[in-house]
Amino acid sequence: MSAAWRRRWREYVLLTRLDKPIGILLLLWPVLWALWIAADGLPPLWILTVFLAGTIFTRSAGCIINDFADRNIDPHVERTRDRPLAARRVSPYEALTLFIFLMLAALALVLTLGWQVTAYALIAAGLLLTYPLFKRFFPAPQLYLGVAFGWGVPMAFVAVQGGVPSIGWWIFAVTVLWALIYDTYYAMVDREDDLRIGVRSTAVWFGKADLAVIAALQLLMIAGLWKIGVMSTLGPLYFTSVLIAAVIFHRNLWWARHRDRAQCFRAFLGNHQAGLVVFVGIALATAQR
């Protein structure tokens, strides 16, 4: 491969954030929670493969469409000004071509799981396409992001069980709460830039109450996770994982206490550990049955 092509591929990696897998992990953990609870243990391997690959494809596509929508905003934000579209190193045409390719690849995978899962996947695609618009007028675009990120949960239940029981909607609700938590930390990094250019976010909306609201959301999420354990009779290993997740949440809040940009971003990244711990609790609890 020539040096020019290597540079081009590097730009595509940056465009899809494959160099920063945190977004994939935050999207993936609730899907794995749902798959393991729906299957009461290890789900069918093909279903697991489709959801793993689909998560990577759709997250990458989501990054592209977000950057495409924000290509004239990102140059004015410190954290995003060097993104390939913002810096004009990748053209809008290139970005949309790659977006379409990734979405078609995800669709090809989900079609193998039947029409019901495909119908849910089309809703997910609509959420993904419309999310970037919400930052223009909706005071809490992180809430809409939570719905988009959480939609893989009902999809997982449909894939495994053919429908979404009440436990599936509980996991979905918890996932929405979680996105509100971690993406508010993320938005706190950009708050000053967002205020200057008029972009909406929960960090802007909550203002000085941001940390208090995050703390309340964390308590609600822990309560929701506890309820999920009771509904699924997951046992002490799972409940121990929920308590560990609560400790991680407290640590993240402590890191962000001064609202320093770097520490807020650190708190955002720390949420991945909470998702991992909860998944380990679910996997161990279901394996123990």
Sign of the Cα pseudo-torsion (105, 45, 27, 269, in order)? negative
DSSP, res 77? S
| pLDDT tens-place string over residues 124-159 | 999 988 988 887 778 888 999 999 999 999 999 999
Q: What is the domain count for the chain?
A: 1
10 Å Cβ neighbour count for 86? 19
Q: How far apart (Å, rounded) are the C-alpha atoms in residues 174 and 221?
A: 6
Residue 170: other Cβ atoms inside 10 A: 18
SS3 56: helix
Residue of higher predicted confidence among 119 and 74: 119
Indicate the DSSP class of residue 43. Answer: P
Give the containing element (helix H, strand E) for 163: none
Q: Residue 133 has what pLDDT?
A: 83
Domain span holding position 131: 3-287
Predicted pLDDT at 198: 80
pLDDT in tens, 48-80: 999 999 999 999 999 999 999 888 888 888 888
- Pair 124, 58: CB distance under 8 Å: yes
* pTM for the model: 0.93
**Could you tell me which residues come within 8 angstroms of residue 281 by beta carbon, excluding any fewer than 6 positions away?**
234, 237, 238, 239, 240, 241, 242, 244
Q: How many CB atoms are located within 10 Å of the residue 163 CB?
A: 10
- What percentage of the chain exceeds 70 in pLDDT? 100
The answer to whether the CB of 145 falls within 8 A of the CB of 131 is: yes
CATH classification of the domain holding 167: 1.10.357.140
Residue-wise pLDDT tens digits, 27-51:
999 999 999 999 999 999 999 999 9
- Alpha carbons within 13 A on the beta-carbon side of 267: 32
Q: What is the pLDDT of residue 1?
A: 62
Rounded CA-CA distance 262/251 in Å is: 15
**Dihedral sign computed on CA atoms, order 66, 70, 75, 79:** negative
Mean of per-residue pLDDT scores for the chain: 93
Burial class, 201, CB count within 10 angstroms (exposed 0-12 / middle 13-18 / buried 19+): buried
Percent of the chain with pLDDT over 90: 78
* Lookup: tokens for 98: 């790659």
> What pLDDT is recorded for position 79?
82
For Cα atoms 174, 175, 181, give the angle at the middle one, nearest 5 degrees. 90
